Amino acid sequence: MAELTASGQGLAAEAHRRIIGMILEGRLPAGARLQEAALGQELGMSRTPVREAIKRIESEGLAVQEGRFLKVRRLPRAEIEEIFFLRLQLEPEATRAAATALAPARIEEMAARTRAFIAGDASIGQWQLDDAFHAMMLDAQANRAVIGVVAGLRRRTCMFDRSQVPDRYLRGFEEHLDILDALGRGDGDTAARLMTDHLTHARDAVLGRLDALEDQKARRP
């Protein structure tokens, strides 16, 4: 198969970004089919860049082949536990380092964005802000491998948004503010502890949602 041209690669990257956005927003929930023709029509693109984007999404662990169809993955409980186990090993220590590595102005800028989001600023996207916060913590260590690993782990749980775990919707961002407050004081130990709590709460909410879904399935006649 011929390699994509530079423009074709750009379209494939754009298709990937927009399809991931549809997953994050819940427009493509777990179990939804990833069909080239339908997605191409919605995105206003030909099948080729959409096909490449779908292949990339599959390679990232967000889609799986079920029979004749490729679908957004439903993550099993054991995989969720593994994802958060790894994040709990990496992110608290990165957050501890952020207390001395991040400029105070950057911490305050993130806090201001977070406060605006909590107050209802519709121009700030949930996942974009969440990604920016966690990436900022990891930037403090300047370890590109760790940054890439955590980004991949986060993508695999991206379908657990406000529609799936509504109780975590604003509470998670309030926890971000607590972490930022500790960082602003230069208290890395407290910031690391709060990040551990934050990730543990997120894990428990996701696992609780999975348990609820399984309970619903078991109750069906």
User: Which tens digits make up the pLDDT trace of 50-107?
Assistant: 999 999 888 878 888 998 899 998 778 898 999 999 999 999 999 999 999 999 999 9
| Gap between the Cα atoms of 85 and 91, Å rounded | 10
E strand segments, 56-197: 63-66, 69-72
User: Which tens digits make up the pLDDT trace of 164-176?
Assistant: 677 788 999 999 9
Q: Which domains does the chain have, with CATH numbers?
A: 6-72 (1.10.10.10), 77-219 (1.20.120.530)
Percent of the chain with pLDDT over 90: 53
User: Which tens digits make up the pLDDT trace of 189-205?
Assistant: 999 999 999 999 999 99
Q: In the predicted model, what is the mean pLDDT of the chain?
A: 88
Sign of torsion over alpha carbons 171, 173, 178, 179: positive
> Measuring CA to CA, how many Å separate 71 from each of 26, 56, 165?
14, 13, 21
